[in-house]
Amino acid sequence: MPEITRDEVEHLANLARIDLSDAELDHLAPQLSVILESVASISGVAGDDVPPTSHALPLTNVFREDVVVPGLGAEAALAGAPESEQQRFMVPRILGDEQ
């Protein structure tokens, strides 16, 4: 019987970069276990000889002409940025005690 413990949810949230509150962890863990239990019903339905399908269409190697086309200008690309400076995205510090 698959089950996701509260600690596991905390770890997964950490991997997914979401700060879940204690209340959210209490709330989500049992719900996720119920969902997981339900979806686990498909184990054993398909034999190992069945190939996986990742995509509905058998398209491979879709190319375009190697031609330069205009992209977004810096102004448009930065228009939605929380902060910008000198035509660049301004981000919080990326080095420090966590590294």
Partner 1 sequence: MSADLTRRTAADLAADLAAGTTTSVALTQAHLDRIAAVDGGPDAGVHAFLHVDAEGALAAAAASDERRAAGSPASALDGVPIAVKDVLATRGLPTTCGSKILEGWVPPYDATVVARLRAAGLPILGKTNMDEFAMGSSTEHSAYGPTRNPWDLERIPGGSGGGSAAALAAFETPLALGTDTGGSIRQPGAVTGTVGVKPTYGGVSRYGLVAMANSLDQVGPVTRTVLDSALLHELVGGHDPLDSTSVDQPLPSLVDAARRGAEGDLSGVRVGVITELSGEGYQAGVQARFEESLELLVKAGAEVVEVSCPTFVHALATYYLIMPCEASSNLAKFDAMRYGLRVLPEGVDSPSAEQVMRATRDAGFGDEVKRRIILGTYALSSGYYDAYYGTAQRVRTLIARDFAAAFEKVDVLVSPTAPTTAFKLGEKLDDPLAMYLNDLATIPANLAGVPGMSLPSGLADEDGLPAGFQILAPALADDRMYRVGAALEAALHERWGGPLLDRAPALAAQAGPTDANGASA
Count of CA atoms in the C-beta half-sphere (13 A) of 51: 4
Report yes or no: 17 and 2 within 8 Å, Cβ to Cβ: no
Q: Segment 24-63, which members bind partner 1 (CB under 8 A)?
A: 24, 27-28, 31-32, 34-36, 38-43, 45-47, 50-57, 59, 62
Closest CA to 32 of 6, 55, 53: 6
Q: Measured in whole angstroms, how far is the alpha carbon of residue 26 from the centre of its chain?
A: 22
| Minimum gap (Å) between residue 3 Cβ and partner 1 | 11
Assess 68 for contact with partner 1 (CB under 8 A): no
Among residues 22, 66, 85, 98, the one that binds partner 1 under rule CB under 8 A: 98
- Residue 97 beta carbon to partner 1: minimum distance, rounded to whole angstroms: 8
